[in-house]
Chain A
Amino acid sequence: MSVVLSLIVFLPAVVAAALLCVPSRVPGRVFVGTWIATGLADLGLIVAVWTGLPASGGFSFEERLPWIPSAGISYHVGVDGLSLPLLALTAVLFTACAVFALRETRRVKAYVVLFLGLQTVCLGVFVALDLILFFLFFDLSIVAMYFLIAGWGHGERGRAAALKFFLYTFLGSLALLLGFIVVFLAADPHTFDIPTLVTANPLAGGGAAAGLALLAIGIGLAVKTPTVPFHTWLPPAHTEAPATGSAILAGVLLKMGTYGFVRIAMPILPATWRDYALVVVVVGVVSVVYGALVALAQTDVKRMIAYTSINHMGYVLLGVGAAGLAPGTDEQARQLATTGAVTQMVSHGLITGALFLLTGVLHDRGHTYDMGAYSGLSARTPRFAGLFAVAAFASLGLPGFSGFIAEFQILTGALAPAPIPTAVAVTGIVLTAALFLVALQRLFLGPLRIPDAPGAPRPFADLHAGEALAIVPLLVLATVIGLAPRFLLDVIEPAARTLNQLVAR
Chain B
Amino acid sequence: MPSGYPALLVALVAVPLAAGALLALAGRRADRLAAPVSVVLAAVVLALAGAAAVLRPALDAPLMAGIRAGLAVDGLSATLVLTVGGVLLAVLLVAAGEPGLRTGRFAGLMLLFAGAMLVTVTATTLAVLLMAWEVMGATSWALIAYYRRDAAAVRAAHTAFLTTRTADLGLYLAAGAAVAGGIGSLGLAELPGAQGAWLHVVTVGVVVAALGKSAQLPFSFWLSGAMRGPSPVSALLHSATMVAAGAYLLLRVAPLLDAAGWAASAVAWVGAATALLLGLVAVAQTDLKQLLAASTCAQIGYMVLAAGAGGTAAGTVQLVAHAATKSLLFLAAGAWLVGLGTRQLDGLRGAARRFPLVGVTFSVGALSLAGIAPLSLWVTKDAVLAAALDRSPALYGVGIAAAAVAAVYSAKALWFVWQPAAPHAVRPEQEPSGWVAAVARPPLAVLALLAAGLGLLPLLGTGVLAPAPAPAAWELALSAVLALAAAVLTWRLADRLPAPAVLSGWLGIERAAHALVVRPTLALASALARFDDQVLDRAVDGAARTTVRAARALDRRGEHPLDAGVGGIAAGARALGRWARRPQTGQLHQYYAQASVGFAVLAALAVVMIAVR
Interface residues of A (CB under 8 A from B): 164, 167-168, 229, 232-233, 290, 293-294, 296-298, 330, 332-333, 335-336, 339, 376, 378-379, 382-383, 386, 390, 393, 398-400, 404-405, 408-409, 411-416, 419, 422-423, 426-427, 429-431, 433-434, 437-438, 441, 444-447, 485-486, 489, 493
Residues of B within 8 A of A413 (CB): 176, 179
B613 at the interface (CB under 8 A from A): no
Pick the contact of A399 from B131, B151, B162 — CB < 8 Å?
B131
Which of B58-66, B283-291, B429-437 is found at the contact surface with chain A? B58-66
Contact between chains at B149 and A415 (CB < 8 Å)? no
Residues of B within 8 A of A434 (CB): 158, 162, 521
Contact between chains at A336 and B172 (CB < 8 Å)? no
Assembled-state Cα–Cα distance A232/B537 (Å): 6
Contact between chains at B528 and A405 (CB < 8 Å)? no
B590 at the interface (CB under 8 A from A): no
Residues of B within 8 A of A423 (CB): 173
State the majority secondary structure of interface residues on B. Answer: helix
Pick the contact of A416 from B151, B180, B528, B541 — CB < 8 Å?
B180
Contact between chains at B179 and A489 (CB < 8 Å)? no
Contact between chains at A335 and B65 (CB < 8 Å)? yes
Contact between chains at A376 and B148 (CB < 8 Å)? yes
B532-546 near A? 1/0 per residue, CB < 8 Å: 100011001100100
B460-499 near A? 1/0 per residue, CB < 8 Å: 0000000000000000000000000000000000000000
B161 at the interface (CB under 8 A from A): yes
Given A399-B132, A433-B161, verify A229-B127 contact (CB < 8 Å).
no
Contact between chains at B135 and A232 (CB < 8 Å)? no
Which residue, A233, A333, A438, A493, has most C-beta atoms of chain B within 10 A?
Answer: A333
Give the 4 A-B residue pairs with the shortest CB-CB distance, closest first: A415-B176, A416-B180, A399-B131, A297-B529
Assembled-state Cα–Cα distance A190/B184 (Å): 43
Given A232-B537, A400-B131, A434-B162, verify A333-B179 contact (CB < 8 Å).
yes
In the assembled complex, the CB of A318 is this many whole angstroms from the nearest CB of chain B, namely 12
Residues of B within 8 A of A493 (CB): 65
Residues of B within 8 A of A430 (CB): 162, 165-166, 169
Residues of B within 8 A of A398 (CB): 134-135, 138
Pick the contact of B525 from A293, A330, A335, A415 — CB < 8 Å?
A293
Assembled-state Cα–Cα distance A430/B166 (Å): 6
Can you name 21 A-B pairs with beta carbons within 8 Å? A297-B525, A297-B529, A376-B148, A376-B149, A398-B134, A399-B130, A399-B131, A405-B64, A408-B175, A409-B65, A411-B175, A412-B175, A415-B173, A434-B162, A434-B521, A437-B157, A437-B158, A445-B149, A446-B149, A489-B65, A493-B65
Name the residue of chain A whose CB is nearest to the CB of B61.
A486
B328 at the interface (CB under 8 A from A): no
Assembled-state Cα–Cα distance A132/B62 (Å): 40
Name the residue of chain A whose CB is nearest to the CB of B66.
A332
Residues of A within 8 A of B184 (CB): 332
In the assembled complex, the CB of A211 is this many whole angstroms from the nearest CB of chain B, namely 24
In the assembled complex, the CB of A438 is this many whole angstroms from the nearest CB of chain B, namely 8
State the majority secondary structure of interface residues on A. Answer: helix
B574 at the interface (CB under 8 A from A): no
Pick the contact of A167 from B62, B131, B176, B544 — CB < 8 Å?
B544
Assembled-state Cα–Cα distance A486/B169 (Å): 25
Residues of B within 8 A of A390 (CB): 25
In the assembled complex, the CB of B11 is this many whole angstroms from the nearest CB of chain A, namely 16
Assembled-state Cα–Cα distance A213/B149 (Å): 57
Assembled-state Cα–Cα distance A290/B528 (Å): 7
Assembled-state Cα–Cα distance A160/B154 (Å): 39
Contact between chains at B172 and A426 (CB < 8 Å)? yes
Contact between chains at B525 and A296 (CB < 8 Å)? yes
Which residue, B67, B138, B544, has most C-beta atoms of chain A within 10 A?
Answer: B138
Q: Tell me the chain B residues, 159-210 only, with Cβ under 8 Å from chain A.
A: 161-162, 165-166, 169, 172-173, 175-177, 179-180, 184
B14-28 near A? 1/0 per residue, CB < 8 Å: 000000000001011
In the assembled complex, the CB of B263 is this many whole angstroms from the nearest CB of chain A, namely 19
Name the residue of chain B whose CB is nearest to the CB of A334.
B65
Residues of B within 8 A of A379 (CB): 148
Contact between chains at A298 and B179 (CB < 8 Å)? no
In the assembled complex, the CB of A286 is this many whole angstroms from the nearest CB of chain B, namely 11
Contact between chains at A399 and B524 (CB < 8 Å)? no
B141 at the interface (CB under 8 A from A): yes
Residues of B within 8 A of A232 (CB): 532, 536-537, 540
Assembled-state Cα–Cα distance A414/B176 (Å): 7
Assembled-state Cα–Cα distance A419/B174 (Å): 12
B414 at the interface (CB under 8 A from A): no
In the assembled complex, the CB of A461 is this many whole angstroms from the nearest CB of chain B, namely 15
Residues of A within 8 A of B145 (CB): 445
B526 at the interface (CB under 8 A from A): yes
Residues of B within 8 A of A339 (CB): 64-65
Contact between chains at B180 and A427 (CB < 8 Å)? no
Which residue, B25, B158, B529, has most C-beta atoms of chain A within 10 A?
Answer: B529
Contact between chains at A233 and B521 (CB < 8 Å)? no
Residues of A within 8 A of B536 (CB): 229, 232
Pick the contact of A412 from B25, B131, B176, B526 — CB < 8 Å?
B176
In the assembled complex, the CB of B339 is this many whole angstroms from the nearest CB of chain A, namely 28
Assembled-state Cα–Cα distance A293/B64 (Å): 30
Which residue, B173, B525, B541, has most C-beta atoms of chain A within 10 A?
Answer: B525
B522 at the interface (CB under 8 A from A): yes
Pick the contact of A400 from B28, B64, B135 — CB < 8 Å?
B135
Residues of B within 8 A of A382 (CB): 27-28
Assembled-state Cα–Cα distance A260/B149 (Å): 47
Contact between chains at B65 and A336 (CB < 8 Å)? yes
Known: A293-B521, A427-B169. 6 other contacts (CB 8 A): A232-B540, A297-B522, A333-B176, A382-B27, A404-B131, A493-B65
Residues of B within 8 A of A447 (CB): 149
Assembled-state Cα–Cα distance A101/B528 (Å): 36
Assembled-state Cα–Cα distance A455/B208 (Å): 55
Assembled-state Cα–Cα distance A409/B165 (Å): 18
Pick the contact of A378 from B138, B148, B151, B162 — CB < 8 Å?
B148
In the assembled complex, the CB of A505 is this many whole angstroms from the nearest CB of chain B, namely 20
Contact between chains at B176 and A411 (CB < 8 Å)? yes
Contact between chains at B528 and A293 (CB < 8 Å)? yes
Name the residue of chain A whose CB is nearest to the CB of B524.
A293
Name the residue of chain B whose CB is nearest to the CB of A293.
B525
Residues of A within 8 A of B149 (CB): 376, 445-447
